[in-house]
Structures are given as C-alpha cells and as structure tokens.
Amino acid sequence: MQKTSSTTKLVIFLVVLGLISYLASLYVDWLWFKSVNFPSVFSTILLNKIGLYVFIFLATALLFAFNLRLTRRHMGPVEEPVYDDEEGRVIYLDDEKTPWKEFLRGKSSRWLYLGISLFAAYLVSSVAVDNWIVVQQYINRVPFGTTDPIFNKDLGFYFFNLTFYKFAYGTLMMALILLIITLGSIYLINASTNLLFGNWRQFSFAKGHMATLLAAIFLLKAWGYKLAAYDILFSPAGIVYGATYSDIFARLLSYRILLLLSIIIAAVILANIFVKKFKWILISLGAWVLVAVLMGSVYPSLIQKLVVQPNEFNKEKPYIENAIKYTRQAYGLDRAENREFNIDYNLDISDPSHQSTIDNIRLWDWQPLRTTYKNLQQLRSYYVFDDVDIDRYTVDGEYRQLMLSVREIDQEELPQQAKTWINQRLMYTHGYGLVVSPVTEVAEEGFPQFFVKDIPPRFSTDLKIERPEIYFGEKTDNYVIVNTSQKEFDYPAGEKNVYTRYEGKDGIKIKSFARRLLFGWVLKDYKMLLSSDITNESQVLMNRNILDRVQKVAPYLSYDGDPYIVINDDGKLYWVLDAYTVSDKYPYSEPFDKQRNNYLRNSVKVICDAYTGKMNFYIADESDPIIKTYSRIFPQVYQPLSAMPEGLRSHLRYPVDMFSIQAQMYRTFHMTDPSVFYNKEDPWLIPNETVEDKQVKMEPYYLVMRLPEEENPEYILMMPFTPKSRANMVGWMCARMDGDNYGKMLVYNFPKQETIYGPEQIESRINQNTEIAQQLSLWDQRGSRVYRGNLLVIPMGNSVLYVEPLYLQAENNRLPELKRVIAAFENKVVMEPSLDTALLKLFGQNQRVESQQTGVVVTPGELPGATVAELAKSAREYYDRANQLLRDGDWAGYGENIKKLNETISRLEEAAKP
C-alpha cells in the first residue's frame, strides 16, 4: 500500500511539474509576442485553440456520458439471479464473488464511465485542436468571384467551406466510431454474464442502442459521400488533373448511389429495432459493399475503356479546356503577355539604347562569388557569408545591379577555448556589415570590384550604412542577452576590439529575479541565475533566425527559401522575405508538388529589421481571397503595401521559387488549344547548361535590361525554353518588377520555322570552338580548375545575345577569379578577357562600346586593350600563360604567348609616348 501511495505521489508530482513547465513556456511566448508588437496574434491563436478544444471536449464528453449512462441504466442489477432447485427459491450471487460486475454496474462504475468519457474527449479534441485555422477561415471566408464548371459553386466553397465540412465530418466520425467500440465492448462483457445465467432481458436495449449508433454512422457516411463527390474536381486519375468524362458519368453517379444507399441502410437498421428483420440489414450491407466495388471501380473502368478510349479527344475535350483554363488561373499564367519575337540579327551594339543592358550583364554568379567573398572579406573565422543576394540600386545616379552578402556571426566557428557561456550569450551577439559589388565590374587579378567592404564599412560610392550590426539573420539560431554589464563585441580593429551596447527596445526585459528564474527554466540555462552581469535592464533576444521568427507570427503561410538583405535610404539594413498562400483546393489545377498543392500566390512581403528584429507584414496581392481571409482573422498583423516605406518598396523583387513553379507549369500550359494539348504537340522544356563542369537545369536569374519595345531599363527575372526533342530556343519568359510593372509576366515566342540557338546548343558550340577548348584544357591542368558560370540569354533589339563568364581557381585553395567572358551572337562565339573586348570582337570594326569599368570608349583597332591598365593586364596574362606552358613542355604554345607578350609590350610603349 505504501509503495502504491509513493507511486501515486510521483505521478502527481510529474504531472504538476509538466503543467508548470508548459505554463512557463506559454508565458515566455506571450512575453515574446508582446515584445515584437504582436500580442493579438498570441491571444487570437491561444483563444481559438482553447475555444475549439473546450467545445469539442465538452461535446464529446457529453456524447459519451449520455450514452454510457443509458448503457449503465439498462445493464440490470449487480447481482445475477441463481435458481436453487432444491428449495425452489431465487437467490443472488454475493457481490464479493463478482467484484468486476460492481465495477461495471455498481456505484463505482460512475467513475469508470466518467473516466472513459473524459479520455475519449481528450483523444478527439487533441486531434482536432490544430484545425482552429480551418474553423476561422470558414467563419471569415470571402468569395473568389469565380465558379467551377461542374457544380457551379464559387471557388471559395472548396477553399473554406469544404475544408471545414471535412474537418467536422472527420471529427464526428471519429467520435462515433470510438463510442460504438466502447459501448460494444461494455455490452459484450455484460453479455457474457447474461448468457451464463440465462438472463436475456438486457439484450433488447443493447441491440436498439447499438443499432441507433450504427444508423447514425451510416447517415454521417451519406454526408461523407456528398463531400467526396466534390473531390472529383481534384481527381489525379484522368487524362488531366480534375474531373474527366469517367469521373462525371461514373464516379459521381457512384457517390450519389452510395449516398442514397447509406440513408436506406440507416433506415433499415433503425426499422429492425421494431420489425426484427436482421436479414434486411445483411442484405442492405451486402448491397452497399457490392455497389461500392462495382460503381467505385469496375463501372468507371468500363466507361473509360468502352466509351472514352474509342473517342477520347471528343469525350475529354471540355475537361481538357477546364484543366487549361483553371491551371493557368491558379498560377497566374493567364495574366502573362505574349509577344512574337521576330529574329533579324541586325543588332547595332553601339546603339545608346542598349548601353544600360550592357552595363548590367551579370558576370558574377553567386556560387563562385560567395567563395571569393569568404576568402577576401570574411576577416575572422567566426564571420560567415551564408548567401549572396542580388538586387538593384541607384548608385551615383545610375541604375545598377549589385551583389550583396551579409557578414553574420557563427558562434560555432569560435575557437574551442572561446566557446564560453559569456562569449556565446553576452559578448559575441551579432554580425557586422556586408559587402557589395556590381555584377559587371572586375578588379585586378579577376576579383570583384567592391562598392562596400571591410570592417568598419568602407564605401567607394554614395551607398551608406548607418547601422551595420546584424542581430537577426539567416545564421543567428541562438538566443543572446544584451544590455548587460558585459560589453558586446562589435568588430575587430587591428590588435584591439571595438565594443558596443545594444540600443534596441524590442527584446524581452529581465526586470526581476523571478523572470530570470523563468527564462532559466524555459531556456534550460541555469547560468542565467548565477551571472552577475545580467541586470533588470538586460534584454533577451530570442527567435533570431528570421525565417523562424516570421513563421512564429504567421505559421499558416509558406515562405520563400531565399530572404535577401536591403540597404534602405536611411542607411539601415532590412531583410525582405516573400510569403505565399498555398492550397490544394483549386479545381482542375495541376499540382506542383507531392502534397498536391495547386494554387500559389506571393501575397505577403515581410520586412524584418536586421538590428531590432521588428517585423512588418504587407499584403502584396490584394486580389488573393486567402490573404483577405487571414487579414480578417488577424487584423492587427497585415498592412497595405502602400504603407511600406518607398526606400524598401523599390527593392521588392519577384521571388525565384514562385517564378520557377510558374515556369515549370508554363512548359505544358502554354498550349491553350485543346487539340494541341491533347496530342502534346508542343511541350517545352527548361534547358540544361554547363555550370562548373556539370550539366544542370537552368535556374531563373535576375537581370537589369531594357526589354525590346520598352524605353527604360528594368529589373527582371528570366527563363528560356526549348522544345521537347530539340535544342533550339522556342520561348523566353520574364517577370517584371519595377514600378507599376511589378508582377507582370512577359513571354517572347520565337518563330518555329527557323533555328534560334538554345542554351544547350550554345554550350555545345563553346565546347566545339578549338581556341576556347584548347584554352580550357590548358587551364584545367596542374592544380588549376575552370569554373563555367551561368549562361545568360539576353534579348536585345530583334536579336539574342549569349554571355557566359569563366572563372579560374586553384584546385586546393579555391579562390575564383573572373578570367574570361564568352559571348555568342548568331553563328559566332568569342572568348576575351573582358565583356567589352568580347563584344567588340563579336560585332566587328564599326562598333564602339563604352567600358563600364574604365569609362573609356574601346574600338576593335585598339584590342586587346585601349588603356595602359588593360594592356598591362593582358601582358601579365600572356606572361603567366607562357610560364605555365613552359612548365608543361608546350614549346609551341610558349612561343606563341611570348610573341603576343612582345606585341602587347610594343603597344604599351606606344601608349606611354607623350
């Protein structure tokens, strides 16, 4: 007995401890939401979860309690009658000899049934509570304004109503199945006693009770068939995604028959309580199973084989039209503007209208550039460049495309002896600054030309950063405590370090020892209690990873995998995150992932201050009904896009993840003619390119360029297409993102009667060019390695220009240097040290190109360099190449390069003359 008492006390203690821990964590969450100015989000989510949990818990508990009370009342007395044949008297068994009957039927059974009711209520409510957002979406639903072609219902019905109805159906079905299993078990145990003693009088009620519940399940199942009928709009089995001929004329019919049959079965079961025709139940259940098999599988297959396949296109044509129409709507492809692009190859590269495009042709790819940044600008082992972002800025009055990378701190990279609690929690709290370089300019030795570099930041343009500290970022995954007695490390300055103090107000203040104890418990950090550096004014900065941070506020949104940093007009750094509304409930729309999601909108732009962590959520697509619904549920969270500061709004960009999905869907759904679609006459492919030394699928990339037929340069995201089974280019898609053109999609359709070189063909021509191939083979020897960058496909005028950068890096100590630029136009491919010289060699003697790097006008007669700097660079390259060839024993190549070196020196002497 003592042992049982100790066990009970231990269980109670653990339960209380768990409850205290949960409440403490909940309170810290509340403090965090309050610190980031979103207390309404915390209260809305918590109250909705509690409200839904309590409602379902009470409803389920009452359902079980009511039925268990009926069961207990009609199970008969505790004592079972026994007839004494010798004396002719009726006696009852002793209660002590049958204690389990007291447990089921006696006074103590009330506690048993109460426990069963509460446990069942816990199971059902725990499963259902996370669907609070489904309930709120139903309550705050808004119409789409578009109806489906089969049931003529507004599409909002499938996004909000149907989802809610399925949730309600699933919850009710779970509760009823648990109830019938529970009551069946109790009746079965009781029946064993009744059969033993010949007492049949309790069977009548048990039979009626179970029959009623079974009838309720079949009535609910009838509603389930009604809901399932709508799912044919998302059927994956036909020629297109969505309802096809066999779905409409077979599966939909089967659902309607099964619905009617379920109602009939429920009526037969209820009638059997009175008419005692158990055979009717068996017959109706048999019919239900037979119809489910025949109508659900056999009949649709027969319709497909005997009716559809002999005349498939004519039968499926309206459904193909539906699939094309609704898929294009779901991904916004119906908004894309199509233009015919007639090639003439009469490109005048010296035309001033092309200069803005030439000045922003991207020569730096983010992969090799990140490696270069790490080698040149990481400065300390604990600093990391996690990613390279691409954006556009007006620099010194010019519209330029820039590469940016934030210098975050990674405490895991601290020396082992420096990984102390003080260093990780109080001292090394933030990263510092970023590097910025233009996409086109190359400094000496093939390194990027920095506009912003070093610590503290040094600037070579009018870009300025007033607040370079990075407390919140992509790599900051741990919490820190600021405003303590311990100075925070700011940045290294020679042999000394510069220290600072956090000036933000958005952390959670300690305030008291009780809060310190609370944080120590929740964060599992007892050293917080012992540290003398922590004061009541200290602040805890939690959830510093920007993706985790925004997901905590809006977990119902999906987020782009590439947040990017922005330098605002005020000199502060902000993170921009793209958020999506995603659903699998758009009728007839082809899914884009394994979860069968088939609707996508970039409806929200999130701004997060890199210093304070403050977040703002802006509605970027006001036409999206899903975000309208969320803004009704959380009115304190979302702001109109017009409320975003102009300095940040000008840096909004079309997200790569969304554009990639749209491009993937457009490969098939550019075919709007049902006949062409059915025969798959014109499927497009995303072409391959050579990156590094591997064949990979092309990815979308950002460019600043002047689109043909447009007056001004603009920022775009682009992707070329090739036809299936051929390598020539057939289409080119871009998303525009400047000013009023933001979000507009443009597709150029190339003529099919002539060959327009596709990326794979250009890559092949590069490989087949003997001069280029020889140079690449030469570099790929003795410890060096060539890295081939992304191939850019750039429409200019009525022509297409192709540009690919080449980087050279050591095999062991990789430090990519931009050494050559390959350019291709029409039937000519060239490789030169710079883009300017490549274009001049490509377009001939009558062209003039202004060098973005030097500002000097270069002509072909002055090649390989017009300035002393360019000639000196060429001389150094010939000299290095000659020495390499000498080491390799290539005397012919050595002699050729010495000859070119001599010519270059002669030109240097000419240039040096007064």
User: pLDDT digits over 313-333, tens only?
Assistant: 999 999 999 999 999 999 999
Q: Are 592 and 485 in contact (CB under 8 A)?
A: no
The Cα 231–Cα 158 span in angstroms is 9
The Cα 82–Cα 198 span in angstroms is 9
Which of 180-189, 276-285, 327-336, 414-423 is least confident? 276-285
The Cα 560–Cα 248 span in angstroms is 37
* pLDDT value at 102 more than 90: no
The Cα 376–Cα 710 span in angstroms is 39
The Cα 602–Cα 621 span in angstroms is 7
| pLDDT (average), residues 612-627 | 96
Q: Are 183 and 67 in contact (CB under 8 A)?
A: yes
Residue count of the chain: 914
Tens digits of residue pLDDT in 782-797: 677 888 999 999 999 8
The Cα 543–Cα 613 span in angstroms is 9
Token pair 């490969």 is found at 667
Q: State the angle between helix axes of 891-912 and 868-888 in degrees (0 to 180), rounded to the nearest 10.
A: 160
* pLDDT value at 498 more than 70: yes
The Cα 369–Cα 465 span in angstroms is 22
Nearest Cα residue to 216 out of 274, 277, 164, 265: 265
Distance of alpha carbon 620 from the chain centroid: 17
The Cα 238–Cα 418 span in angstroms is 62
Q: Where are the beta strands (DSSP E) in 28-165?
A: 81-84, 89-92
Buried b (16+ CB within 10 A) or exposed e, 204-219: ebbeebbbbbbbbbbb
Tens digits of residue pLDDT in 686-701: 999 988 878 899 999 9
Q: Are 470 and 406 in contact (CB under 8 A)?
A: yes
Q: Where are the beta strands (DSSP E) in 13-172?
A: 81-84, 89-92
* pLDDT value at 539 more than 70: yes
Tokens of 23: 């409440």
Which of 194-198, 240-244, 608-612 is least confident? 194-198
Task: Give residue 210's pLDDT.
Answer: 85
Task: Give residue 872's pLDDT.
Answer: 76
Q: What angle do CA 433, 393, 448 make, to 5 degrees?
A: 60
Q: Are 463 and 451 in contact (CB under 8 A)?
A: yes
Amino acid found at 462: D
Q: In what order do the strands lie in the sheet with 508-509?
A: 480-482, 539-541, 508-509
Q: Are 502 and 435 in contact (CB under 8 A)?
A: no
Q: Which residues on neighbouring strands pair with residue 147, listed in sequence order?
A: 154
* pLDDT value at 106 more than 70: no
- C-alpha distances out from residue 335 to 233, 242, 325, 633, Å: 23, 22, 12, 29
The Cα 503–Cα 837 span in angstroms is 51
Amino acid found at 26: L
Give the pLDDT band of residue 452 (cuts 50, 70, 90). Answer: very high
Q: Are 135 and 143 in contact (CB under 8 A)?
A: no
The Cα 680–Cα 723 span in angstroms is 11
Strands 508-509 and 539-541: antiparallel
The Cα 218–Cα 281 span in angstroms is 12
Task: Give residue 854's pLDDT.
Answer: 38
Other CB atoms within 10 A of residue 747 CB: 18
* pLDDT value at 619 more than 80: yes
Q: Where are the beta strands (DSSP E) in 468-586?
A: 469-470, 480-482, 488-493, 496-500, 508-509, 539-541, 558-559, 564-567, 573-583
* pLDDT value at 97 more than 60: no
Task: Give residue 867's pLDDT.
Answer: 63
Token pair 């109109």 is found at 640
Task: Give residue 89's pLDDT.
Answer: 53
Q: Are 714 and 704 in contact (CB under 8 A)?
A: yes
- C-alpha distances out from residue 142 to 139, 389, 631, Å: 9, 37, 11
Task: Give the three-state DSSP class for 281.
Answer: helix
Tokens of 86: 């010798």
Question: Phi and psi at residue 652, in whole multiples of 5°?
Answer: -65, 140
Give the pLDDT band of residue 834 (cuts 50, 70, 90). Answer: confident
The Cα 540–Cα 665 span in angstroms is 45
Nearest Cα residue to 863 out of 831, 902, 837: 837
Tokens of 387: 């990613």
- C-alpha distances out from residue 193 to 101, 107, 571, 672, Å: 9, 19, 84, 72
Q: Percentage of residues in the chain with pLDDT exceeding 70?
A: 88
Task: Give residue 77's pLDDT.
Answer: 53
SS3 content of the chain, % helix, strand, coil (to 5): 50, 20, 30
The Cα 351–Cα 340 span in angstroms is 22
Tokens of 833: 């040290």
Half-sphere exposure of 551 (CA within 13 A, CB side): 10
| pLDDT (average), residues 73-94 | 53
Token pair 């990339």 is found at 701
Other CB atoms within 10 A of residue 85 CB: 6
* pLDDT value at 199 more than 60: no
Task: Give the three-state DSSP class for 601.
Answer: strand
Give the pLDDT band of residue 846 (cuts 50, 70, 90). Answer: very low
The Cα 262–Cα 223 span in angstroms is 9
Task: Give residue 135's pLDDT.
Answer: 96
Tens digits of residue pLDDT in 116-169: 899 999 999 999 999 999 999 999 999 999 999 999 999 999 999 999 999 999
Task: Give residue 457's pLDDT.
Answer: 92
Task: Give residue 669's pLDDT.
Answer: 96
Task: Give residue 164's pLDDT.
Answer: 97
Tokens of 784: 């060096």
Give the pLDDT band of residue 651 (cuts 50, 70, 90). Answer: very high
To the nearest 10°, report the CA torsion of 131, 133, 136, 140: -140
Amino acid found at 415: P
* pLDDT value at 647 more than 80: yes
The Cα 509–Cα 647 span in angstroms is 31
The Cα 623–Cα 605 span in angstroms is 15
The Cα 713–Cα 357 span in angstroms is 7
Nearest Cα residue to 866 out of 857, 879, 853, 876: 857
Q: Where are the beta strands (DSSP E) in 420-536?
A: 431-432, 434-438, 452-453, 458-459, 469-470, 480-482, 488-493, 496-500, 508-509
Q: Are 637 and 38 in contact (CB under 8 A)?
A: yes
Tokens of 313: 């296109």
Give the pLDDT band of residue 857 (cuts 50, 70, 90). Answer: very low
Q: Are 45 and 515 in contact (CB under 8 A)?
A: no
Task: Give residue 908's pLDDT.
Answer: 73
Buried b (16+ CB within 10 A) or exposed e, 41-59: bbebbeebeeebbeebbeb
Q: Are 759 and 791 in contact (CB under 8 A)?
A: yes
Amino acid found at 56: I
Token pair 């396949």 is found at 309
